[in-house]
Chain A
Amino acid sequence: MVGIVIVSHSEKLAEGVRELASQMASPDLPIIAAGGIDGGIGTDAFKIQAGIEEADRGEGVLILADLGSAIMSAETAIDLLEREIRVVIADTPVVEGAVSAAVTASTGAGLDEVLEAAMEAREMHKL
């Protein structure tokens, strides 16, 4: 199964998105929250690196990230990886993207398909 990592400046936000997305996902889906830094607001490349390695089941990992430096920290985390893992960052809203990706990944879809599902969240209308 494709793994999912939620990156946010806030530990609580990342955990909340993980909780929400997990609710709609297969219990086997590896979905990891990597939010905050040292208990405060920020992003931690090492925490994200550990999250990617934990979420990896050999079929790749999708990252969803919130604002600004979250993307930079996620890219740094990818450079820090100690083993070869295919990782993609989805340029999409975090909450909607995570739910959409989790549902698709739960069906056993590959990384490209999970990424596509996450990207569809950009077009999701609420009203």
Chain B
Amino acid sequence: MASAIYQCIEQIGSKIIEHKDFLTELDREIGDADHGINMARGYSEALKALPQEEEDIGAVLKKTGMTLLSKVGGASGPLYGTAYMKAAKVAAGKKALTLEDGKAMLEEAIAGIKMRGKAVQGEKTMLDALIPAYEALTEGMAAGKSPYECLADMCAAAEKGVEYTKTIRATKGRASYLGDRSIGHQDPGATSSLYTLEAIRDFVKGL
């Protein structure tokens, strides 16, 4: 029987693979048309490389990050790779996670992406989905909502963040070459970040 964390990564991978063409299409508009292809390849390889029965959540996340790093190719390799490896440190040695752990993992992942991409919120990147998501999760927890409600709020905020990326100009990455012409298009990295969070929400709901 595959461990819960393996199943969760599998669910994230399936969601990314399912939306591979759409992500690539978004990247064709403002980038180099490989985001969906690269991410789908990364997750396919990760699912092959991960030990299915390993229960140490940190170990599985670290391996996921390292595989994405070595298989994705574009900027999303180091960015998602770093995010997973940072989250892995919080989960090291753990076989179960609380919502508090999840929040700390998202915080670390965001810090890793900021550090690796030298980016801040508002530059039409993954961070425009992830930072509002983290804030909504934190608020939900402070308001004493149920774990699933907190995760649902997190995803709703990430979705708004993705919408927001349509209104702004890219200043980081390949899309920044387009300047104002990047306005009107939603960011592929913010979109794949939303899918990741939604897959986690749905996984938790199914537990």
| Residues of chain A whose beta carbon lies under 8 Å from any beta carbon of chain B | 37-38, 40-46, 68-69, 72-73, 75-76
Chain A residues with Cβ below 8 Å from B121 are: none
Q: Is the CB–CB distance between A69 and B71 below 8 Å?
A: no
B residues 133-182 near A (Cβ < 8 Å) are 173-174
Q: Which 5 A-B pairs have the closest CB atoms?
A: A42-B73, A69-B75, A72-B78, A76-B78, A37-B73
Chain B residues with Cβ below 8 Å from A69 are: 73-75, 77-78
Q: Is the CB–CB distance between B116 and A72 below 8 Å?
A: yes
Chain A residues with Cβ below 8 Å from B38 are: 42
CB distance from A78 to the nearest CB of B (A): 11
Chain B residues with Cβ below 8 Å from A46 are: 66, 69-70
The CA of A46 and the CA of B78, in the complex, are separated in Å by: 10
The CA of A37 and the CA of B70, in the complex, are separated in Å by: 7
The CA of A38 and the CA of B116, in the complex, are separated in Å by: 22
Chain B residues with Cβ below 8 Å from A40 are: 73
Q: Is the CB–CB distance between B71 and A37 below 8 Å?
A: yes
State whether the Cβ of B72 lies closer than 8 Å to any Cβ in chain A. Answer: yes
Query: Considering only CB atoms and an 8 Å cut-off, how many residues of chain B contact the other chain?
Result: 18
State whether the Cβ of B79 lies closer than 8 Å to any Cβ in chain A. Answer: yes
| Nearest CB in chain A to that of B174: its residue | A68
CB distance from B188 to the nearest CB of A (A): 14
Chain A residues with Cβ below 8 Å from B174 are: 68
CB distance from B203 to the nearest CB of A (A): 27
| Nearest CB in chain B to that of A67: its residue | B174
Report whether over half of chain B's contact residues are helix, strand or loop; otherwise say mixed.
helix
Take A68-B173, A68-B174 as given contacts and tell me if A73 and B78 are in contact as well, using a CB distance cutoff of 8 Å: yes
Q: Is the CB–CB distance between A42 and B116 below 8 Å?
A: no
Q: Is the CB–CB distance between B77 and A42 below 8 Å?
A: yes
CB distance from A13 to the nearest CB of B (A): 15
- Pick the residue among A37, A43, A68, A75 that contacts B116 (CB under 8 A): A75
Chain A residues with Cβ below 8 Å from B66 are: 46
State whether the Cβ of B117 lies closer than 8 Å to any Cβ in chain A. Answer: yes
CB distance from B164 to the nearest CB of A (A): 23
State whether the Cβ of B82 lies closer than 8 Å to any Cβ in chain A. Answer: yes
Chain B residues with Cβ below 8 Å from A72 are: 75, 78-79, 116-117
The CA of A41 and the CA of B173, in the complex, are separated in Å by: 17
State whether the Cβ of B58 lies closer than 8 Å to any Cβ in chain A. Answer: no
Q: Is the CB–CB distance between A38 and B78 below 8 Å?
A: no
State whether the Cβ of B36 lies closer than 8 Å to any Cβ in chain A. Answer: no
The CA of A41 and the CA of B79, in the complex, are separated in Å by: 17
| Nearest CB in chain B to that of A72: its residue | B78
| Nearest CB in chain B to that of A76: its residue | B78
The CA of A72 and the CA of B174, in the complex, are separated in Å by: 13
Q: Of A42, A43, A75, which is in contact with the most chain B CB atoms at under 10 Å from its CB?
A: A42
The CA of A37 and the CA of B174, in the complex, are separated in Å by: 19
State whether the Cβ of B81 lies closer than 8 Å to any Cβ in chain A. Answer: yes
